[in-house]
Amino acid sequence: MRLSFFSGFLIAVLAAGPSTSASAPHSGVPLGQSTDLSARIVDGKADVNGVAYHYLLAAGGPKTVVLLHGWGTTSYMWRFVMPQLVARGYTVLAPDLRGLGDTAKPAAGYEKAAIAEDIRALVNQLNLGPVVNLVGHDMGGMVAYSYAAQHPGEVTTLAIVDVPLPGIEPWNELIQGPRTWHFRFHSVRDVPEMLIAGRELEYLKWFHNAEGVNTRAFDTEADEVYGRSYAQPGALRAGFEYYRAFPRDEEQNKAFAKHKLTMPVLGISGSGGLASMYEGHLRHVAENVRAVVVEGSGHWVPEEQPAAVTRALIEFLPPAY
């Protein structure tokens, strides 16, 4: 496996040390001391359930943390959080989800429970399991919940970042509100692809700004990475299939929620995102819930305020050794 541009960027970020400038695009980014990760964070490809999955992996101690991104981003979104977990001795896996980033883009299979089986198969193929700690943002949070609900004995901890779970109260209320207009738009067959194709960069820049508070987190480099990713053939369709699968996700989650999760669950929300309502939402599906509301952040919490997310995860995760 080769060292990625992404990994090299992480090394440079860590070497720069914590930022104290008032004009810095992040709050306290990143935490910790400089660490040489040049031989540790690597790219990989693996065939999983017939889909070529791209992933980033850093092998560390015996505890594995799986980081799952959402729509509008790729595994690149963990560029500030991932190295801090690696520096503390965790083995960290950050895949591009089915259809997104540099993972292949099949026509079907975008129900979150099905994607959870992809991730579980990837974990086992890489000999990182069977027991893991899951962290998911946005669609990745939905996938992480499905993984934990289907295989509770294989999940030590679950952290979900600023996303409502389909079918779980107050889902019906949330999806009718103005903040979730894109749920309805992205669910329409063919139309969003027709309108956005060729304008992926512009659409994502607008979308990141609209859903963010600390929008300086999305610099030119981030914009270009995401713009390139979503301009790939099939990427828009694949991304919107995540939304088109919501009806099936609702059915599956309602069935899962009949048996509440018993492992520790952490809900992280932005003050400009789901905020304080998030803890109550997650209590519908889990018995042991704690919540953190991150100030100065909208929906993109790991990118807008990565230091706060890193602190919350380090306090929540079991020790690396």
pLDDT, tens digit, 9 for 90 and up, residues 282-320: 999 999 999 999 999 999 999 999 999 999 999 999 999
**DSSP structure string for 173-200:** HHTTSGGGHHHHHHHSSSHHHHHHTT-H
Instruction: Give yes or no for residue 22 having a pLDDT over 50.
Output: no
Cα distances (Å, whole numbers) of residue 115 to 119, 187, 220: 6, 18, 30
b vs e for 126-159, b when ≥16 Cβ sit within 10 Å of the residue's Cβ?
A: bebbeebbbbbbbbbbbbbbbbbbebeebbbbbb
pLDDT at residue 297, rounded to an integer = 98
What is the crossing angle of helices 139-150 and 246-256, to 10°? 40
Element (DSSP H or E) covering residue 103: none
Q: Which of 93, 118, 94 is nearest to 104 (CA)?
A: 118
Is residue 138 part of the annotated active site? The answer reads yes
Instruction: Give yes or no for residue 214 having a pLDDT over 80.
Output: yes
User: Given pLDDT bands bounded at 50, 70 and 90, which one contains residue 37?
Assistant: low
Per-residue pLDDT, averaged over 31-36, amounts to: 44
Question: Is there a contact between 115 and 218 (Cβ–Cβ < 8 Å)?
Answer: no
Instruction: Give yes or no for residue 10 having a pLDDT over 60.
Output: no
Catalytic residue among 137, 186, 281, 299: 299
Instruction: Give yes or no for residue 32 having a pLDDT over 50.
Output: no
pLDDT at residue 241, rounded to an integer = 98
pLDDT at residue 36, rounded to an integer = 60
Per-residue pLDDT, averaged over 258-262, amounts to: 98
Instruction: Give yes or no for residue 96 having a pLDDT over 70.
Output: yes
Instruction: Give yes or no for residue 279 having a pLDDT over 90.
Output: yes
Phi-psi label, residue 31: left if phi above 0, alpha if psi -120 to 50, beta otherwise: beta
Instruction: Give yes or no for residue 27 having a pLDDT over 70.
Output: no
User: Given pLDDT bands bounded at 50, 70 and 90, which one contains residue 212?
Assistant: very high
First-to-last C-alpha distance (Å) of the chain: 26
Instruction: Give yes or no for residue 273 having a pLDDT over 50.
Output: yes
Distance, CA of 5 to CA of 7 (rounded, Å):
5
Catalytic residue among 53, 203, 243, 278: 243
Question: Is there a contact between 48 and 125 (Cβ–Cβ < 8 Å)?
Answer: yes
- If one compares 3 and 120, the residue with the highest pLDDT of the two is 120
What's the pTM? 0.90
Instruction: Give yes or no for residue 7 having a pLDDT over 60.
Output: no
Sequence-ordered alpha helix ranges (H) in 175-296: 181-187, 191-196, 200-211, 220-230, 235-244, 246-256, 277-282
Question: Is there a contact between 171 and 281 (Cβ–Cβ < 8 Å)?
Answer: no
> What's the DSSP call for residue 96?
P
- Whole-number mean pLDDT of the chain? 90
Question: Is there a contact between 161 and 135 (Cβ–Cβ < 8 Å)?
Answer: yes
Distance, CA of 158 to CA of 180 (rounded, Å):
24
pLDDT at residue 40, rounded to an integer = 84
Catalytic residue among 138, 147, 226, 278: 138
Is residue 53 part of the annotated active site? The answer reads no
Per-residue pLDDT, averaged over 33-50, amounts to: 77
Is residue 278 part of the annotated active site? The answer reads no
Distance, CA of 77 to CA of 132 (rounded, Å):
20
Distance, CA of 70 to CA of 130 (rounded, Å):
23
Instruction: Give yes or no for residue 159 having a pLDDT over 90.
Output: yes
